[in-house]
């Protein structure tokens, strides 16, 4: 099969032929239809994830069709169209038994713990626990995006922060994850405030449901918070840091009203200092969101099926597999045009 492959961190990936994957007994092999290009893929390629062994094939958001079944797979058949959370659970550990496979102690992650979806074929483990049927009518790019950024945002807002209609939501950082959170917040009936330093990103945010946008470029933290209070005078009910910087997390936390809920989705390059005095004084909740287990997807899929959530509208570019190396380099150097890129593998 063809795969985007590298044998040295930060070295330019190449498209080359590699052996086809073989399924584990409880796993499957999926022919990839489409796969998302995410900043997490860049972090892995740069060597920021100690779970990656070289040589490696990245890619973790995907949709495709099962081509080979392991002997112990019972719920799925060859030819089924499926997607999967980027955190694949074992189904047996205490976390999985309690319904929290997103923090499974034995988790596997395509594109991180093993070769991923920037390829014609990808192996996925513990299929009966992790695979999610995808209707033929759902756009391939939309289906791929449900595996990571939309699932993580949905879990963060719905299952962690319990955001409801009429509440105010501040989203700091309007990349793929932030825009997903904005779309979900708007679909849930929240009043969404978007904060970013990029005017193009803020225009996207407004298009996808933000009622207020704040250009924070050149502003002090105090000025950003004053602008947020102009939209949510008592402070927001919920905030999301979709970027993962000490400053963006602080803005999210300090934007909240008493008893507000902060969701941290963006990954930090190092442990941050956060305003714990405010957390204590206002009795704030600081919550993480690390994907979503497969059994919790129905609520997200219902929003998509009803047309209230349209992930495909986030897609700015669709590229063939051959263009992935250049796209990874551009994202790493902050030369990408922003927005969401999807790789159409089967169109190559």
Same domain assignment for residues 9 and 119 = yes
For 315-343, the pLDDT digits (tens) are: 989 999 999 999 999 988 876 666 789 99
Same domain assignment for residues 8 and 138 = yes
Q: Which of 288, 310, 331 is the last residue of a domain?
A: 288
Q: Indicate the pTM of the whole model.
A: 0.92
- DSSP-derived 3-state class of residue 91: coil
Same domain assignment for residues 140 and 220 = no
For 156-188, the pLDDT digits (tens) are: 999 999 999 999 999 999 998 999 999 999 999
**Closest C-alpha to 116, from 10, 46, 37, 12:** 37
pLDDT, mean of residues 194-217: 96
Same domain assignment for residues 6 and 100 = yes
Same domain assignment for residues 8 and 143 = yes
pLDDT at 347 over 90: no
The length of the chain is 348
C-alpha pair distances (Å), 158 with each of 85, 153, 252, 290:
17, 8, 17, 13
Same domain assignment for residues 185 and 122 = no
pLDDT at 67 over 50: yes
Rounded Cα gap, residues 321 and 240, in angstroms: 32
Q: CATH number of the domain that 270 lies in?
A: 3.40.50.720
Same domain assignment for residues 54 and 180 = no
pLDDT, mean of residues 217-241: 96
pLDDT at 246 over 70: yes
Range of the domain at 259: 152-288
Same domain assignment for residues 42 and 112 = yes
For 36-56, the pLDDT digits (tens) are: 998 889 989 999 888 899 999
Phi, psi (degrees; rounded to nearest 5) at 239? -130, 155
Same domain assignment for residues 190 and 108 = no
**Closest C-alpha to 241, from 169, 312, 297, 183:** 169
pLDDT, mean of residues 187-197: 97
Q: Which of 269, 288, 307 is the last residue of a domain?
A: 288
Q: Which of 271, 288, 305 is the last residue of a domain?
A: 288
According to the model, what pLDDT value does residue 335 have? 66
Same domain assignment for residues 35 and 74 = yes
Q: CATH number of the domain that 102 lies in?
A: 3.90.180.10
Strand partners, 37: 341
According to the model, what pLDDT value does residue 49 have? 86
Same domain assignment for residues 247 and 166 = yes
Q: How many domains does the chain divide into?
A: 2
Mean pLDDT, the chain, integer: 95
Q: Does residue 342 contact residue 141 with C-beta atoms inside 8 Å?
A: yes
Encode burial over 118-131: b for 16+ CB neighbours within 10 A, e otherwise. bbbbbbbbbbbbbb
């Amino acid at each position: 099969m063809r795969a985007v492959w590298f044998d040295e961190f930060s070295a330019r990936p190449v498209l080359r032929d590699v052996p086809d994957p073989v399924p584990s007994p409880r796993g499957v092999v999926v022919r990839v239809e489409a796969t998302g290009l995410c900043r997490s893929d860049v972090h892995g390629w740069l060597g920021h994830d100690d779970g990656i062994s070289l040589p490696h094939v990245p890619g973790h958001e995907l949709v495709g069709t099962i081509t080979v079944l392991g002997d112990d797979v019972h719920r799925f058949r060859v030819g089924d169209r499926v997607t999967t959370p980027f955190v694949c659970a074992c189904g047996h550990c205490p976390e999985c038994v309690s319904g929290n496979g997103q923090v499974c102690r034995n988790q596997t992650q395509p594109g991180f713990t093993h070769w991923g979806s920037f390829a014609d074929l990808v192996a996925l483990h513990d299929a009966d626990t992790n695979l999610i049927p995808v209707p033929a009518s759902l756009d391939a790019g939309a289906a791929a995006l449900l595996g990571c950024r939309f699932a993580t945002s949905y879990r963060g807002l719905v299952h962690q922060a319990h955001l409801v209609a009429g509440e105010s939501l501040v989203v700091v950082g309007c990349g793929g994850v932030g825009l997903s959170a904005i779309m979900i917040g708007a679909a849930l009936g929240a009043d969404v405030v978007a904060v970013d330093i990029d005017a193009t990103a803020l225009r996207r945010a407004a298009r996808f449901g933000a009622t207020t946008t704040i250009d924070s470029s050149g502003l002090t933290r105090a000025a950003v918070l004053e602008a947020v209070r102009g939209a949510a005078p008592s402070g927001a009910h919920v905030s999301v840091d979709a970027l993962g910087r000490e400053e963006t997390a602080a803005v999210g936390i300090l934007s909240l009203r008493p008893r507000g809920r902060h969701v941290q989705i963006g990954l930090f390059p190092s442990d941050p200092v956060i305003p714990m005095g405010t957390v204590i004084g206002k009795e704030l909740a600081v919550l993480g969101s690390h994907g979503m287990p497969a059994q919790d997807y129905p609520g997200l899929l219902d929003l998509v099926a009803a047309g209230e959530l349209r992930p495909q509208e986030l897609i700015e570019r669709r590229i063939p597999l051959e263009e992935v190396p250049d796209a990874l380099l551009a994202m790493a150097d902050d030369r990408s045009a922003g927005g969401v890129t999807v790789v159409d593998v089967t169109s190559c």
